[in-house]
Amino acid sequence: AVTLTIDGRPVTVEPGTTVLDAARQLGIAIPTLCYLKQLNHRAGACRMCIVEVEGARTYLASCTLPATEGMVVRTGTPGVREARRMILELMLSDHPNECLLCIRSGSCELQAAANLMGLREIRFQRMSRTLYKKDDSSPAIIREPQKCIYCRRCVTVCAEVQTVHAIGPQLRGFATVIAPPYNLPLGDSVCVHCGQCALVCPVGAIYERDDTGAVWAALADPAKHVVVQTAPATRVTLGEAFGLPPGTPVTGKMVAALRRLGFDRVFDTDFTADLTIVEEGNELIHRLTKGGPLPMITSCSPGWIKFIEHFYPEFLPHLSTAKSPQQMFGALAKTYYAEQAGIDPKDMVVVSIMPCTAKKFEAGRPEMNASGYRDVDMVLTTRELVRMLHEACIDLNNMPDEEYDRPMGLSTGAGAIFGATGGVMEAALRTAYELLTGKPLPGIDIEVVRGLDGVRQAAIDLEGNPVRVMVAHGLGHARMLMEKLKAGELKDCHFIEVMACPGGCIGGGGQPICANPDVRQRRAAGIYRLDKGMKLRKSHENPAIIELYERFLGEPLGEKSHKLLHTSYTP
């Protein structure tokens, strides 16, 4: 251990601890714009965290400075304060400063820092940074390089957490830009649209494509029947934007708010999550008993699909052919529900509320029009829904609890847990066990596949048949699994769940931006509480799914299912 003094107070820390973290242990806050604890991102790029160290010739960035024995540090001397102000002013002299119009107004860390320091003027002339245009080439993510403050958080999350390496610093000096290689458009890059960059950007330099305009237009069009589906993970995060703690379920209030916005029907993606389990569970059993590419790998996370298409195309036959619940929903809304409700699908608009930016990309994939129309017309992230509610002056806290519409609004706890990493696996095992053994599952909570460890594995005994499963979340962990698969090390594994985002959909790139480091645990806990409180917790027991098969689909993996609910991927 080393002992140092910060602002006159001694503190003892582990060797390797930075001065910034040592100060935090003492409850001394030092402003930062680039440091991000969750990513262990200590770039020393923004210089806002400078401190005075006795004996040092200059101020030093505390986020990259290891604490050493006997060090004497001062964090708030007049000199340090003045230097920080100057750094901030220099940053702002090179920033558009159009806070009133910026998508991050109110949640921008640069704006917050300027406010915190009480900056009222900028002493420097605008610098001559190279002008780069907005890049709106991607179906999901928009880049505004002019707003970038070069903190490199997005680069770190893309390279080190997701191992995608879509963006990095290009060129040098005033021409520096964080962009895909050769400064090509993001839409032409390997970007998988996961949106993790948008979650960590401190300013408005990278964010989700805004599709709220198209949704407002559909809602205002009397000729359109507009139905909405809400993803499993949105109900435990939407409340954060209205002051509620992460993980607070707001299902009923969200349903009510969507009705107030004018949606004709409010349905639930959890319903088609249950359906996915029935189809995918049967597919797994088919592959186990009749022979098929094993391990089977889940295919519902579209960032993961783009990742495997780019980096491991030779393993595409391992993907389950079941479409994601979002796409199953779209295909059924414009066929099954349209038929029941007597609505011409050409007059129907299907909107999704998703925690995910990549779902925008998925909905636009050319194969996703099994109904004869584009199955899902528009995808809004949780953050976009928040903006619509704000614009409509709807305060979620004042909403009553309302129920989803039928038939596509009825779901089980198995559908709910899709939103957390391991949830699809657990839901699938609950159903596969009963389908294979014909017996009721003894313990419904399959704890071994839960949690936030990057890769988890378990062997589940299905009456003498051990089914070996693995779960990975975050594409860096998925890459580790794929490398093992490539090396022939997963030959005895049967089923793998992969979610592109750390934590699964609760950590999706379209979720409310939240600095709380344990936000993912709290959101996941909220999901599991929802499951626990439900009467029905196994997908195949969902009466609306049973009715769907009786009235419309026939049987799992049948002809209609094949046409509407399954797809294939080609390299």
Residues with a catalytic annotation lie at 280, 283, 300, 320, 359, 362, 367, 505
**519-530 burial string, b = 16+ CB within 10 Å, else e?**
bbbbbbbbbbeb
The DSSP annotation for 385-435 comes to: HHHHHHHTT--GGGPPP-PPPSSTT---HHHHGGGSTTHHHHHHHHHHHHH
Among 139, 281, 422, 504, binds ligand HC0 (CB under 6 A): 504
Residue 462's H or E segment, with its range, is strand 455-462
- Closest to ligand HC0 by CB, 295 vs 355, is 355
Query: Is residue 251 close enough to count as binding ligand HC0 by CB under 6 A?
Result: no
Residue 355 sits in the site that holds ligand HC0 (CB under 6 A): yes
324 binds ligand HC0 (CB under 6 A): yes
**Sole window of 47-55, 211-219, 323-331, 475-483 interacting with ligand HC0 (rule: CB under 6 A):** 323-331
Q: Which residue sits closest to ligand HC0, CB atoms considered?
A: 505
Strands 455-462 and 465-473: antiparallel
Residues sharing a CB contact under 8 Å with residue 139, sequence separation 6 or more, in sequence order:
187, 193, 209, 360, 361, 364
Question: Count of CB atoms within 10 A of residue 29's CB?
Answer: 12
- We find the least distance from the C-beta atom of residue 442 to ligand HC0, in angstroms, to be 26
For position 271 contacting ligand HC0 by CB under 6 A, the verdict is: no
Between 233 and 394, name the residue whose CB sits nearer to ligand HC0: 233
Shorter beta-carbon distance to ligand HC0: residue 273 or 472: 273
505 binds ligand HC0 (CB under 6 A): yes
Whole-number minimum distance, CB 189 to ligand HC0, in Å? Answer: 21
Which is closer to ligand HC0, CB of 300 or CB of 349?
Answer: 300
The answer to whether 73 touches 19, Cβ cutoff 8 Å, is: yes
Of residues 198 and 354, the one with the C-beta less far from ligand HC0: 354
Using rule CB under 6 A, residue 269 touches ligand HC0: yes
Q: Are the C-beta atoms of residues 319 and 475 closer than 8 Å to each other?
A: no
Q: For ligand HC0, which stretch binds (CB under 6 A), given 184-192, 351-359, 447-455, 533-541?
A: 351-359
Nearer to ligand HC0, 46 or 524 (CB): 524
> Alpha-carbon distance 197 to 403, whole Å?
35
Q: Does 354 bind ligand HC0 (CB under 6 A)?
A: yes
Nearest-angstrom CA–CA distance, 140 and 186: 10
Q: How many helices (H) and strands (E) does the chain have?
A: 19, 17
Three-state DSSP state, 196: helix
Tell me: cis bond preceding 66? Omega within 30 of 0 counts.
Answer: no
Decide: is 507 part of the binding site for ligand HC0 (CB under 6 A): no
Task: Name which of 380 and 424 has its Cβ closer to ligand HC0.
Answer: 424
Among 273, 458, 475, 530, which residue interacts with ligand HC0 (rule: CB under 6 A)?
273
Residue 241 CB, shortest distance to ligand HC0, in Å, is: 16
CB of 11 to ligand HC0, least distance (A): 41
The pattern of x and - marking residues 282 through 321 that bind ligand HC0 according to CB under 6 A reads ------------------xx--------------------
**Could you say which of 162, 282, 326, 542 contacts ligand HC0 (CB under 6 A)?**
326
Whole-number Å distance between alpha carbons of 151 and 246: 26
Q: Locate 258 and state its tokens.
A: 């969507």
Distances in Å between the Cα of 28 and the Cα atoms of 13, 61, 73 are 15, 15, 12
Nearest-approach distance from CB 341 to ligand HC0, in angstroms: 22
At a CB cut-off of 8 Å and minimum separation 6, what does 480 contact?
454, 455, 472
Q: How far apart are CA 402 and CA 267, in angstroms?
A: 12
**Judged by CB under 6 A, which stretch of 17-25, 350-358, 479-487, 538-546 contacts ligand HC0?**
350-358
| CA atoms of 100 and 95, how far apart (whole Å) | 14
Backbone phi, then psi, for 141, in 5-degree steps? -120, 135
Is residue 452 involved in binding ligand HC0 (CB under 6 A)?
A: no
Q: Give the nearest distance from C-beta 530 to ligand HC0 in angstroms.
A: 12
Span 406-445, contacts to ligand HC0 by CB under 6 A: 418-419, 424
Q: What does the DSSP 8-state code read for residue 511? A: S
What kind and span of H or E run contains 470?
strand 465-473
Q: Which stretch binds ligand HC0 (CB under 6 A): 51-59, 137-145, 269-277, 307-315?
A: 269-277
Minimum distance from CB of 160 to ligand HC0 (Å)? 22
Binding site for ligand HC0 (CB under 6 A): 231-233, 269, 273, 276, 300-301, 324-326, 354-356, 359, 418-419, 424, 504-505, 508
